[in-house]
Structure 1
């Protein structure tokens, strides 16, 4: 039994809600706003973008473009470009009849072409993400000269979201889902599995958004701080003490204007993938 559009739409909204409910240092969450954005804006963005993101009549690139346009018109700022770039291929893959989301995502990525690149370039220009700059090849301000996979290949060494397009979303399926599963095995509950997904991304890779805005050295410094923070939080059992520690790190990052947005985007995509996989398993049990 394949997933319905409503199921995929709700899985996406639930992923966005789960991410915003988790205490992610430096990012916007229910414990603290930041960077001139609010948690409410992110929740509104999830609702308004869910329609075009899950429209089976649209190609992946057009889903991203229409979802960015809808978000921009409603919220007035870029809250979810990275989320949409990651979640649109997953939503398209969820519509296929296969039982393996990773394989289906690879099939979706393999089918992306110049039309998808044109729409994605337009979406990026509309969203105007911080620290965008320009590129010698496949600059988003120009007409694409190749398909979307080739354009993403050019940026993959410096951008974690582009990297997913050329690795079959390997970091989502390997790092993200593994971190979530490991947290559940340890008995983590409520927001904590999501927190550990975020900290795993932030401690494993220098955050692309931080690197674009502040440089590679600062991004590496934040990565090292996150690695130490993850170890300290893992060793603590008291949830309130964990929150105090993470909120202190949160205030420090925000005071310095540091927003690890790419790690948050990867967290949403991980939760979305997890929700899709769980729905497939549930539907299989019901129909079997």
Structure 2
């Protein structure tokens, strides 16, 4: 498909890129999070894989605005899976999916344009999605509380939460952490000849070691989130020095067991990892389509 300004992926290509990102993330050994090596937090890897399939259609529906995509995808997931497996993933991936539909090869610029169009209707749908998903540790906010009718557009509501929530921060920074940190960590791992799940693992560890995880902070407090960040930094450095995959797995599984025993789930770092993989997939699609179509 060719449009003015570049070659755009088809809806089916975007859908498959989203599912592949979710699959890749769940296949990777992400300490504290659900993955194929170990379930956790009363959730299973199968639930996350099912959620990806269930949410893919509304997430990539070109007829829907960003907020409606998130609301419909959360509703379908909640109805069929019965728990919140993907709110953060959907909040991050819906703008990326919308941006992928725009002409031109610059995904980052397209994302910025999508974010600039978000309005009060988007906020209303996202607030409804958050209420439906019932994320752990949500609490209430002094301004733009999701239990109330939004008085502003979605971007302004996200600005209010950006200092305490890494997902909201992506909305107000043009997904800077995805483009500058996540994709960079992925490229660095590939350049180091990491294979199979390891580039994804290092994306996750990079997010977890750079920022106190928002989900951990909401549920356990800022001090615990900072402690986990510092521990993750040590784990990441040790894993990078190892070349034996089995030894790496032992190191990460021990950290995984410790986190899950304490009820700690760095879910925001996992969500950012999915968004990074989705962005990487979209960029590759655009490059591939450009080559195929001239």
| Coarse TM-score class (shorter-chain normalised) | over 0.9
Deviation at 1:287, TM superposition (A): 1.0
- Residues 1:173 and 2:158 are matched in the alignment: no
Query: Which residue of 2 is the match for residue 268 of structure 1?
Result: 274
- Residues 1:103 and 2:109 are matched in the alignment: yes
Q: 1:131 aligns with which of 127, 134, 137?
A: 137
Measure the CA separation in 2 of the matches of 1:88 and 1:21: 22
Deviation at 1:19, TM superposition (A): 0.1
Query: Which residue of 2 is the match for residue 279 of structure 1?
Result: 285
Measure the CA separation in 2 of the matches of 1:164 and 1:238: 35
Deviation at 1:98, TM superposition (A): 1.4
Deviation at 1:53, TM superposition (A): 0.2
Q: 1:92 aligns with which of 95, 98, 107?
A: 98
Query: Which residue of 1 is the match for residue 88 of structure 2?
Result: 82
Query: Which residue of 1 is the match for residue 76 of structure 2?
Result: 70
Measure the CA separation in 2 of the matches of 1:263 and 1:2: 29
Q: 1:248 aligns with which of 237, 247, 254?
A: 254
Measure the CA separation in 1 of the matches of 2:113 and 2:226: 33
What TM-score comes out, normalization by structure 2 length?
Answer: 0.98
- Residues 1:60 and 2:66 are matched in the alignment: yes
Query: Which residue of 2 is the match for residue 162 of structure 1?
Result: 168
Q: Deviations over 1:94-141 (max 9, x none)?
A: 000111000000000000000000000000000000000000100000
Measure the CA separation in 2 of the matches of 1:118 and 1:287: 39
Q: Deviations over 1:192-213 (max 9, x none)?
A: 0000000000000000000000
Q: Deviations over 1:220-263 (max 9, x none)?
A: 00000000000000000000000000000000000000000000
Query: Which residue of 2 is the match for residue 18 of structure 1?
Result: 24
Deviation at 1:191, TM superposition (A): 0.2
- Residues 1:113 and 2:119 are matched in the alignment: yes
Q: Deviations over 1:41-93 (max 9, x none)?
A: 00000000000000000000000000000000010000000000000000000
What TM-score comes out, normalization by structure 1 length?
Answer: 1.00
Deviation at 1:147, TM superposition (A): 0.3
Measure the CA separation in 2 of the matches of 1:57 and 1:18: 27
Q: 1:198 aligns with which of 188, 193, 204?
A: 204
Q: Deviations over 1:242-285 (max 9, x none)?
A: 00000000000000000000000000000000000000000111
Query: Which residue of 2 is the match for residue 188 of structure 1?
Result: 194
Measure the CA separation in 1 of the matches of 2:9 and 2:239: 37
In structure 2, the gaps of 5 or more residues are 1-6
| Pairing 1:135-150 to 2, within 5 Å after superposition | 135-150=141-156
